[in-house]
Structure 1
Amino acid sequence: MRRTLEGKLIVLAVTGSIAAVETVRLAHELRRKGATVQAVMSHAAAGIVSPAALTYATGRDTIVDITGHVEHVIYSGDEREADLLLIAPCTANTIGKIASGIDDTPVTTFATTALGSGQRIVCVPAMHHSMYRHPAVLRNLEILKEFGIEVIPPRIEEGKAKIAAIDEIVLWSERAVLGEPLRGKKVLITSGACREPFDDVRVLTTRSTGQMGRALAYEAFRLGADVTVVHMDHFPSVRNIHVETADEMREAVQHLLDEGIDIYISAAAISDYAPVRVAGKIPSGTVRQIELNPLPKIIDLVLPDLKVITVGFKLGDDAEIAGRELLLRGASLVVCNPPSVMGSATGTFLIMGRDLEVRVNTKEEVAFEVCRRL
C-alpha cells in the first residue's frame, strides 16, 4: 500500500450520528496511509463512541473541549498544524450550524476557524434519508459547497443516508491534501472487459477484471481530475457510464469526445471481434462454428485529436513492438504487459513514452507512474 498521506496531519471531527462507530476504523485506515490523525468530538459524539476509543485509534489524546490551549487555532487557524479538517460523520444539526455560522461545539469551533483560515474541509453527511431530503438540509449542503467545503455524498440504503464507505472517505481526503495537479482536467478511462453476445444467453469476453481501470480512476481522482469511466462496473466518487459491448463503448467514447476531454486512458480489454449473433439459444452438445467479425479500434477515434493526451495499453508477447508503433501514431504513453497479468493485481509492466521506459510490478504503481506524467 502506498503511504499517500505520509507527513500529513488530519483533524478527524466526529459529531453525534450513530455512524460515529465507524470512526475507529476510519482513523486506522488514515494512519495506514501515513497520516497523523487528531480526533475532536462533540459531546453528542462522545455519548456514542468513547473518546478513549479514538485516543487509542489515533495515538493522540482526543479533544472533547476547547481549553486554554486554543486547540482549534493550533490545528485550524492561520498558522495551522493540520492539512485537513475531516468532519465524519456530519449530522444535519452540525451541517446547519456550519452553514449559519453557529459555533457551539468543539467541532463547529474547528469548522469556523478552518473556514476563516482557508483550511481544506471535507464533510461526510450521515442521517436518516428523510432528514437528508429536508429542503433546509439540502440548501445548507449547497451553502457548505459555496464555502469551498467538499461534501462526500452519502450511500442511500435502508431508508438512511449512510456515511460513505471508509475507502471513499480516504480517497477524498487524499484528493484534498495532494495538491490537485490535475484539477480542471477531464479524464476519460475505458475499463474492464466487454461482452459480445453470440446467442441469447452466451457471450464472448475476456478475463479482464477492471483492476487497472479502477487503479487509474482513483489515482486521477486523487490528483484532482474530473474522471469519467466507461465500463460495466461502478466505481465510487467518479462518473460512471455503463456499457457492455465494444460498439456501446465506442459510441460512449465518441459522445464524450464531442463533449470535450483532455486525457483518454484506454485501459479496457476492448473486444477485437464480435460474433455473428444467433437468434435464440444454441442447443447444448452441438458442434457449432462461430463467425467473428473484426471491430474498429476505439483508440483510433482519439489519436487524430492532438489536443487530447492519449494513454494506450498493449497486451501480448509483441506488446513492446506494438507499443512503439502506437507512440509513433501519437500516443503520449503506452503500458505494455504480458497476457498473464490479466485478472491479477501484480505482474511485469513496462510504461513507455517517447523518452521514457519505466518497469513496475503492480497496477497501483502503473496508475501512479501514468497519472503523475499526465
Structure 2
Amino acid sequence: MLAGVNVALGVSGSIAAVKVVELAHELRRQGASVRAIMSPSATNIVHPWAVDFATDEPVVTEITGDVEHVELCGRDGWADVLLLAPATANTAGKVAAAIDDTPVTTCATTALGADVPVVMAPAMHEPMYDHPGVLDALDRLESWGVTLVDPRIEEGKAKIAAEAAIVTEVARATTTQTLAGTHVVVTAGATKERIDPIRILTNRASGKTGRAVARALYVRGARVTLVQDGPDVPYADVVAVETADEMMRACRQTAATADALVSAAAISDFTADAVDKKIRSGSPLSVDLEPTPKLIDSVREAYPDLPIVGFKAETSGDDAAMVTEAERIRDRVGLAFVVANDASVMGDDETRVLLVAESGTDSEEVTGSKDAVAGRIADRLAAVLDRGE
C-alpha cells in the first residue's frame, strides 16, 4: 500500500509516543521508508534509540547546520508526506500558529510551506481535545489541507487512532486520487440465513477481500459505502446487514447515488423458512431450502447502466474453468469485469485471482496480499470509469 513512499514521522510528547515503534514497523511493513523527528518531550517518553531501531534510520532530535527540516520536508526534500503521530494539543496549536520551536514543529512549518502532504494523529486527554482553542487549531489545520486521523475517545482520553487507520490516511495522502468524486458501493463477507433463533446457514467467507477493496477505493479518493455483516471501519460508511435479502435491499438503495458496485460478498445461495422457537436437538431434521435472488441481477435490473464488478469463487482449481464461469456471469449480467478465484483461499491473507474483462481479452492474473490484489481491482475500476490507466 505504501511501496516507495517516504514518510517523515514527527513524534511529540504524548504518552502515545510509546506506540510509535510499532507504528513505524507497520509503515515499513506496508512498503514505506521512514525517518523520524522527535521533540524533546517525546525523547523523555520513548528513547530515540528505540525509534532508530524501528525505522532503521538516524533520528532527528535537533535542527543543526545540516538544516534537517529542509532536507526532509522542503520543496525538494526527501519526504513524500509528514506524519505527526502522536500530535499533542501543544503541537497542534503551535503548527496552526506557525510556531516552530521543536524539530517536529519546524518540520511541520516547512512541509506546509512546501506543499508536502501532512497527516496528523492527535492524542491527548479528552478535556484538552474539547478545548475551544485546540478545536480551532485543528479546524484551521484542516482548512490548510492537513489530514486529521480522528482519535479514539475512550476512558476520558482522546487516544491515538489505530495503526491501520493512520496507515490508510497516509496512503490516501500519497496516492493519486483517480477515484475522487466517485461513490462506490462494496459488499463484503458472508451472509447468514436464519433457521431458528440460534442456528444459521452461512459460509467461510471472512470479508477480508471486500474490506480490502473498500479501503483501496477510499485510498484512491472514492466515497465508499460498505454493505456487510462485519465491523465498522474508518474508511467507509458501513451499512450493517445479515441476510441475503437485507444485503440486496441495501445495495439497491445505496446504488441509487453510486458510480459503481463491487459485489465481493459471498452471498447465500439458499434461504430457509425460519421458525420462532429453538429446534430441539437429538432427532432427525429436514430443512427445506429456497434459492435466494441474485444480488447483481437485482441491481442490474434497477440500474441498467451501472458499472458492476462481480466475484466468482470456484472449487475446481482449474484456471480455464474459472475463466469460463467468470465469462458466463459477465455476459449474463453485463459486468465491467469479474474477479475469479479459487475458494480454497477463503479467510487467508494471501490470495490469487484472475481478472476477466471484456470478451476477446486475456484474463489478468494477480497474486499477493489481499491489499495488493484490492489495489489492482481498484485501479481496474478507475479505468472502467475513465479515471485511471
Name the TM-score, length of structure 2 as normaliser: 0.89
The corresponding residue for 2:363 is: 357
The corresponding residue for 1:112 is: 109
Q: Partner amino acid for 1:373?
A: R
Please give the per-residue CA displacement for 1:48-105, whole angstroms capped at 9, x wherever unaligned.
Answer: 1122222232232211222222222222222222100000000111112222333222
Q: CA RMSD in A?
A: 2.0
Contact 2:2 2:30 in 1 (8 A): yes
The corresponding residue for 2:145 is: 148
Q: Distance in 2 between matches of 1:199 and 1:279?
A: 6
Contact 2:225 2:254 in 1 (8 A): no
Q: Which moved more, 1:63-72 or 1:296-305?
A: 296-305
Rate the CA distance shift 1:365–1:177 in 2: closer, same or farther, 3 A. Answer: closer
Contact 1:351 1:366 in 2 (8 A): no
C-alpha displacement of 1:315: 2.3
Aligned positions of 1:1-374 closer than 5 A:
4-234=1-231, 235-258=233-256, 260-304=257-301, 305=303, 307-316=305-314, 317=316, 319-328=322-331, 329-346=333-350, 348-354=352-358, 355-362=361-368, 363-374=370-381
Rate the CA distance shift 1:98–1:301 in 2: closer, same or farther, 3 A. Answer: farther
C-alpha displacement of 1:192: 0.4
Q: Distance in 1 between matches of 2:178 and 2:224?
A: 14
C-alpha displacement of 1:172: 1.8
C-alpha displacement of 1:126: 0.9
Can you give the 5+ residue segments of structure 2 that lack an aligned partner in the other structure?
Answer: 382-389
Q: Distance in 1 between matches of 2:131 and 2:106?
A: 25
C-alpha displacement of 1:141: 1.9
Rate the CA distance shift 1:356–1:161 in 2: closer, same or farther, 3 A. Answer: farther
Helix, strand or coil: the match of 1:247? helix
Q: Distance in 2 between matches of 1:39 and 1:365?
A: 26
Helix, strand or coil: the match of 1:271? coil
Rate the CA distance shift 1:67–1:5 in 2: closer, same or farther, 3 A. Answer: same
C-alpha displacement of 1:249: 1.1
Q: Which moved more, 1:238-247 or 1:297-306?
A: 297-306
Q: Distance in 1 between matches of 2:377 and 2:171?
A: 18
Rate the CA distance shift 1:273–1:247 in 2: closer, same or farther, 3 A. Answer: same
C-alpha displacement of 1:46: 1.4
Contact 2:255 2:261 in 1 (8 A): no
C-alpha displacement of 1:12: 0.3
C-alpha displacement of 1:338: 3.3
Q: Which moved more, 1:311-320 or 1:48-57?
A: 311-320
> Which runs of structure 1 show a deviation greater than 4 angstroms over 4 or more consecutive aligned residues?
none
Helix, strand or coil: the match of 1:303? helix
Q: Partner amino acid for 1:332?
A: A
Contact 2:188 2:209 in 1 (8 A): yes
Q: Which moved more, 1:39-48 or 1:301-310?
A: 301-310
Q: Which moved more, 1:260-269 or 1:99-108?
A: 99-108
Q: Distance in 2 between matches of 1:11 and 1:243?
A: 40
Q: Distance in 1 between matches of 2:20 and 2:325?
A: 48
C-alpha displacement of 1:307: 4.6
C-alpha displacement of 1:245: 1.1
Q: Distance in 2 between matches of 1:46 and 1:366?
A: 39
Q: Which moved more, 1:196-205 or 1:234-243?
A: 234-243
Name the TM-score, length of structure 1 as normaliser: 0.92
Q: Which moved more, 1:89-98 or 1:32-41?
A: 32-41
Contact 2:214 2:235 in 1 (8 A): no
Q: Partner amino acid for 1:20?
A: A
Helix, strand or coil: the match of 2:365? strand
C-alpha displacement of 1:365: 4.5
Rate the CA distance shift 1:102–1:364 in 2: closer, same or farther, 3 A. Answer: closer
Please give the per-residue CA displacement for 1:82-131, whole angstroms capped at 9, x wherever unaligned.
Answer: 10000000011111222233322221111111111111000001112232
Q: Distance in 1 between matches of 2:286 and 2:165?
A: 46
